[in-house]
């Protein structure tokens, strides 16, 4: 005869609940097993009495059927009695298990709740409570066959016989053809020839460079991302090819180049920049930019990376920018830590070769070069404005000056910090006398120390001109956004040097294009111009001697109409003399 729980409680003495409703897990297991083996209760009755599931009771009976009963009352070994992480999550684990969640689901929910536990810890909690694992969910149905991978055709230069003479091509890169006239105006074939960039057995140099520029101008982050557009015949036509080359060609082409070839490109660019009105006469801004490496290659030197505030392996790039037109005219990414301080002298020699005279004014920060090279600039007759590092002794000297030693001046610029006070001295460094100006009121805790050999300019002019040097840092930020300058393309600095040269070329193309539009577009950044005008869907209408780009009308299409693109016709040298025209049909 089996008594129910209620009948047992009616016949028991006070205090029976410690045995009929045990709180200790080991005692609860013992009472459950006793009910099965002694009282002949079923698994369902035991589960109802002691708060187990039927499956847990069956698991318990199976585990202890032939086990030593002493294991039910084994004393835990010495050591920590608490496990804070498990204790904090125990109630949540048990609640989720009662809702029939599996271990993986419990682990995921605990991680979201901020009390993460491993799968092992969750199973230990469940086992301590005598709970079994949930059955594994059924396996998902097998996926169907993978879609067949399209094979792109082998790249080739379009001959007169291959060139499409009729039909049309729908493309998402129609707006990119708006930049072709700027490439023609820069005489890109002449630039490639002057640089001496190599051809391959399959492609002349001009077509390889155009393929790489197409990716730069369209904002592709890496050359390997060509896989997403390699089937677009419109991009192939842009470069005079049937399709763009594959990843292997684009990623290995830069290893064929030399630093002397990039230098020859910048030399050939200078007269073209001058003719295009992209050079001014307010001096040049100089700066270093570090392109960080995320690999473990030990070939690269360690340089200071500002955005990480640490020295790490990276490629150091020297940049020279026109101070008035904001055009980058020179770059060198093949610098070593040992040679970086002398790069300013090498740039002066480059400028003298290409412009027939030394630069009149260079503006840079204190980390660009050393006092010895500043003295060399004085010997060459090159003017400069830079900063001097603040030593504790210099700071003490400035703080000891009486209030009357400082002169106030009003700066002609917008924003805060328009009123500054300065103190001027003559200092001697490396045997040369320089003009040192300490300036307060520029938003820094300590005075800014300007060092220059410019004796004719006023202090106000010097402060304002050095402030314009931030233009080079703003433009580098633009190139990082628009052309992914910080996406290191290689662990080999020479390959990075070629990529930087293409980035400078792409930036110049966008600047020329912006200057051909209304004045409101002249100072827009390349990524803004691309968003407004270049990322345009359209159709290429092909005839034997012309490609007509039919662009869909968008918000900024009136700027193109105002600039005369609807009547413009451009002869493209790498198309075998064929012409390019535009139309803007209404939808």
Predicted confidence (pLDDT) per residue in 224-283, tens digit? 555 667 678 888 899 999 888 887 888 788 888 889 999 999 999 999 999 988 998 888
Helix (H, G, I), strand (E, B) or coil at 413: coil
**Radius of gyration for the alpha carbons in the chain, expressed in angstroms and rounded:** 37
Q: What's the whole-model pTM score?
A: 0.70
C-alpha to C-alpha distances, 109 to 94, 135, 139, 199, 373, nearest whole angstrom:
12, 19, 21, 58, 62
Which stretch of DSSP H or E encloses residue 407? Answer: strand 407-410
Tokens of 376: 């060399």
pLDDT digit string (tens) for 197-224?
999 888 999 999 999 999 888 877 655 5
> Residue 496's pLDDT is what?
82
Contact 175, 513 (CB under 8 A): no
40's CB contacts (< 8 A; 6+ apart) are 2
pLDDT in tens, 367-408: 888 899 999 999 999 999 999 888 889 889 998 999 889 999
Closest CA to 549 of 156, 183, 179: 179
User: pLDDT tens digits, residue range 409-429?
Assistant: 988 877 777 888 999 999 988
Query: How crowded is residue 389: how many other Cβ atoms within 10 Å of its Cβ?
Result: 10
**Alpha carbon of residue 361 to chain centroid:** 33
Element (H, E) at 217: helix 205-217
Task: Enter the DSSP assignment of 157.
Answer: B
In this prediction, residues 98-115 reach a mean pLDDT of: 84
- The beta-strand segments (E) located in 523-568 are 538-543, 546-551
Categorize the per-residue pLDDT at 3 as very low, low, confident or very high, splitting at 50, 70 and 90: very low
Tokens of 484: 């992914």
User: Which one is predicted more confidently, 258 or 79?
Assistant: 258
Yes or no: say if 122 and 94 are a contact pair by the CB < 8 Å rule. Answer: no
Does the structure show a pLDDT above 90 at 196?
yes
* Tokens 């390997």, residue located: 224
pLDDT 10s digits, 502-537: 989 999 999 999 999 999 999 888 889 999 999 888
């Amino acid at each position: 005869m089996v008594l129910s729980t209620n009948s047992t409680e009616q016949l028991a003495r006070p205090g029976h609940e410690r045995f009929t409703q045990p709180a200790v897990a080991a005692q609860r297991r013992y009472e459950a097993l006793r009910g099965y083996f002694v009282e002949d209760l079923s698994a369902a009755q035991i589960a109802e009495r002691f708060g187990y599931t039927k499956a847990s009771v069956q698991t318990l009976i199976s585990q202890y059927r032939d086990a030593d009963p002493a294991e039910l009352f084994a004393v835990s070994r010495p050591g920590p009695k608490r496990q804070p992480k498990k204790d904090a999550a125990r109630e949540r684990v048990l609640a989720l298990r009662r809702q029939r969640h599996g271990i993986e689901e419990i682990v995921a929910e605990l991680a979201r709740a901020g009390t993460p536990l491993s799968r092992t810890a969750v199973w230990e909690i469940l086992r301590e409570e005598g709970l079994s694992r949930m059955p594994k969910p059924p396996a998902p149905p097998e996926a169907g066959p993978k879609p067949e991978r399209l094979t792109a055709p082998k790249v080739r230069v379009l001959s007169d016989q291959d060139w499409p003479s009729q039909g049309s091509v729908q493309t998402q890169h129609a707006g990119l053809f708006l930049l072709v006239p700027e490439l023609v105006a820069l005489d890109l074939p002449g630039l490639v020839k002057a640089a001496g960039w190599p051809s391959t057995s399959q492609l002349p140099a001009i077509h390889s460079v155009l393929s790489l520029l197409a990716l730069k101008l369209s904002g592709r982050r890496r050359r390997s991302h060509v896989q997403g557009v390699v089937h677009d015949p419109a991009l192939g036509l842009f470069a005079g090819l049937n399709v763009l080359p594959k990843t292997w060609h684009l990623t290995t082409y830069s290893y064929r180049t030399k630093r002397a070839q990039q230098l020859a490109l910048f030399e050939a660019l200078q007269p073209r920049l001058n003719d295009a009105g992209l050079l001014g006469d307010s001096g040049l801004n100089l700066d270093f930019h570090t392109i960080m490496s995320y690999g473990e290659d030990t070939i690269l030197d360690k340089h200071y990376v500002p955005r990480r505030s640490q020295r790490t392996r990276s490629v150091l790039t020297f940049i020279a920018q026109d101070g008035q037109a904001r055009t980058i005219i020179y770059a060198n990414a093949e610098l070593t830590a040992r040679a970086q301080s002398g790069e300013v002298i090498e740039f002066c020699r480059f400028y003298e070769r290409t412009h027939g005279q030394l630069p009149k004014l260079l503006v840079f920060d204190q980390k660009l070069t050393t006092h010895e090279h500043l003295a060399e600039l004085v010997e060459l007759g090159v003017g400069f404005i830079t900063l001097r590092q603040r030593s504790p002794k210099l700071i003490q000297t400035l703080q000891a000056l009486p209030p009357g030693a400082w002169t106030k001046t009003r700066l002609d610029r917008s924003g805060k910090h328009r009123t500054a006070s300065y103190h001027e001295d003559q200092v001697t460094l490396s045997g040369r006398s320089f003009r040192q100006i300490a300036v307060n009121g520029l938003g820094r805790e300590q005075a800014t120390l300007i060092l220059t050999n410019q004796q004719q300019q006023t202090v106000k002019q010097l402060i304002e001109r050095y402030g314009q040097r931030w233009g080079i840092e703003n433009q580098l930020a633009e190139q990082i956004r628009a052309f992914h300058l910080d996406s290191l393309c290689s662990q080999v600095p020479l390959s990075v040097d070629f990529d930087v040269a293409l980035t400078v070329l792409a930036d110049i193309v966008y600047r020329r294009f912006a200057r051909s539009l209304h004045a409101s577009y002249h100072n827009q950044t390349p990524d803004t111009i691309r968003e407004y005008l270049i990322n345009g869907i359209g159709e290429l209408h092909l005839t034997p001697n012309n490609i007509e780009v039919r662009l869909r009308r968008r918000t900024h299409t009136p700027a193109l109409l105002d600039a005369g693109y609807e009547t413009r016709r451009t002869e493209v040298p790498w198309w075998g003399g064929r012409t390019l025209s535009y139309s803007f049909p209404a939808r």
